[in-house]
Amino acid sequence: MTTHKGTIGILTGGGDVPGLNPAIRAVTIRAIGEGYRVVGLRRGWAGLVDLVPDKDADNSLNFQMLDEGVVNRSVRTGGTLLHTSRTRPSHLPRKSVPAHLTGEYSEDVNDVTGAVLKNLDWLGIDYLIPIGGDDTLSYAYRLHTEGVKVVAIPKTMDNDVPGTDYCIGFGTCVTRTIEMTHALRSTAGSHERILVIEVFGRYAGFTALLPTMAGAADRCVIPEQEFEVEKLTELLIQDRDRNPNRYSVALVSEGATMSGEMSFEGEGTDQYGHRRLGGIGDQVANQISELSAGFNNGNRIEATSQRLGYMVRSGVPDAIDSVAPMAFGNLALDLVLQGTPGRLVSVSQGVYGNVSLDVVHGPHKVVDIEKYYNTERLRPNYATFDGNPLFLS
- Is 284 among the domain residues? yes
Q: Is there a single domain that holds both residue 212 and residue 188?
A: yes
What is the model's pLDDT at position 181?
96
How much is the pLDDT for 281? 93
**pLDDT confidence of residue 211:** 97
Any domain includes 393: no
CATH number, residue 153? 3.40.50.450
Residue 89 shares a structural domain with residue 158: yes
* HSE, side-chain direction, 13 A CA sphere, residue 264: 12
- Shared-domain flag, residues 306 and 337: no
Per-residue pLDDT 10s for the chain (393 aa) are 467 899 999 999 999 999 999 999 999 999 999 999 999 999 999 999 999 999 999 999 999 999 999 999 887 788 999 999 999 999 999 999 999 999 999 999 999 999 999 999 999 999 999 999 999 999 999 999 999 999 999 999 999 999 999 999 999 999 999 999 999 999 999 999 999 999 999 899 999 999 999 999 999 999 999 999 999 999 999 999 999 999 999 999 999 998 766 665 666 666 766 556 668 999 999 999 999 999 999 999 999 999 998 899 888 999 999 999 999 999 999 999 999 999 999 999 889 999 999 999 888 899 999 999 999 999 998 777 788 777 776
Given this model, what pLDDT does residue 260 score? 67
Note whether 143 and 234 are same-domain residues: no
Q: Does residue 161 sit in the same domain as residue 283? A: no
User: Is residue 160 one of the residues assigned to a domain?
Assistant: yes
> Known catalytic residue: 239?
no
388 part of a folded domain:
no
In a domain, 390, yes or no: no
Count of the separate structural domains present in the chain: 2
Domain check: are 214 and 339 in the same one?
A: no
Kindly list the strands in the beta sheet with 63-66, ordered across the sheet, starting from the edge strand earlier in the chain. 63-66, 36-41, 6-12, 127-132, 151-154, 343-348, 351-356
Look at residue 1 and tell me if it is in a domain.
Answer: no
My answer on whether 52 and 164 are in the same domain is: yes
Do both 198 and 269 map to the same domain? yes
Catalytic residue among 158, 160, 218, 321: 158
Global pTM reads 0.93
pLDDT value at position 278? 63
Residues 272 and 225 in one domain: yes
Task: Return all residues near 66 (Cβ < 8 A) that are at least 6 apart.
Answer: 10, 24, 28, 38, 39, 40
Residue 265: CATH number of its domain: 3.40.50.460
> Are 181 and 298 part of one and the same domain?
yes
Same domain, 222 and 152: no
Structural domain contains residue 392 = no
Q: Does residue 386 belong to any structural domain of this protein?
A: no
- Domain range spanning residue 118? 6-168+316-361
- Distance from C-alpha of 54 to C-alpha of 370, rounded to nearest angstrom: 56
DSSP 293-342: GGGTTT----EEEEE-GGGGTSS---SHHHHHHHHHHHHHHHHHHHT--S
- Shared-domain flag, residues 153 and 177: no
